[in-house]
């Protein structure tokens, strides 16, 4: 349960609120894990037919032709393919950072050293989301699930966490 204590001169504002352990756990979940679930939902929405290569090529390839009118069609398709794979990398890099934050639950007042197990757990979650996303795509008309995309997605997550680790090492004061 929670209690409120009021001061007479405070205009009926609570001076102290004690929340139950259960409410604190819900707040921690909402703060750290809800962004992970929302971003995973965004990734899942990208698995629809509307985001298939066929549909995105209708917009992307004319843009490339407009920018580079003399580029052969096979090179335009190759650029489109690379662009889509970079999308995979970045989507899952963001997911890895959100997962790492959720696992780590950082506190600015108490900085902690890097823990590889936390990063490993975040990459494992990225792998599971990537694998389930590709499995989901096998059931979507116009889409195919590919093991290579799972590897690209997981690599994107690992690269993001490696970048955080390197940044942390560089910004840490040397003793």
CB 84 within 8 A of CB 56: yes
Which pLDDT belongs to residue 1? Answer: 44
Amino acid 174: pLDDT: 63
17 strand-pairing partners = 4
Task: Specify the pLDDT at position 15.
Answer: 47
Query: What are 93-126's pLDDT values in tens digits?
Result: 999 999 999 999 888 777 788 899 999 999 999 9
Are the C-beta atoms of 100 and 122 separated by less than 8 Å?
A: yes
3-state helix, strand, coil in the chain (%, to 5): 70, 5, 25
Higher per-residue confidence, 35 vs 10: 35
Residue pLDDT, tens place only, 118-157? 999 999 999 999 999 999 989 988 788 899 999 999 999 9
Question: What is the pLDDT, as a whole number, of residue 28?
Answer: 82
User: Mind listing the pLDDT tens digit for each residue in 62-96?
Assistant: 888 899 999 999 998 898 889 888 988 999 999 99
Helix and strand totals (H; E) in the chain: 6, 2
10 has pLDDT over 60: no
């Amino acid at each position: 349960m929670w209690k409120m204590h009021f001061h007479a001169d405070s205009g009926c504002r609570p001076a102290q609120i004690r929340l139950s352990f259960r409410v604190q756990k819900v707040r921690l979940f909402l703060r750290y894990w809800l962004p992970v679930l929302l971003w995973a939902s965004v990734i899942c929405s990208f698995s629809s037919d509307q985001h298939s290569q066929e549909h995105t090529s209708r917009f992307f390839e004319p843009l490339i032709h407009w920018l580079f009118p003399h580029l052969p069609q096979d090179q335009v398709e190759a650029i489109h393919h690379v662009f889509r794979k970079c999308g995979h990398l970045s989507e899952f890099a963001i997911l890895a950072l959100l997962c790492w934050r959720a696992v780590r639950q950082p506190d600015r007042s108490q900085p902690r050293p890097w823990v590889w197990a936390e990063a490993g757990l975040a990459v494992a979650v990225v792998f599971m989301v990537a694998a389930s996303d590709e499995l989901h795509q096998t059931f979507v008309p116009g889409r195919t699930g590919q093991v290579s995309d799972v590897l690209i997605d997981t690599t994107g997550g690992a690269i993001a966490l490696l970048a955080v680790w390197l940044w942390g090492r560089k910004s840490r004061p040397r003793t």
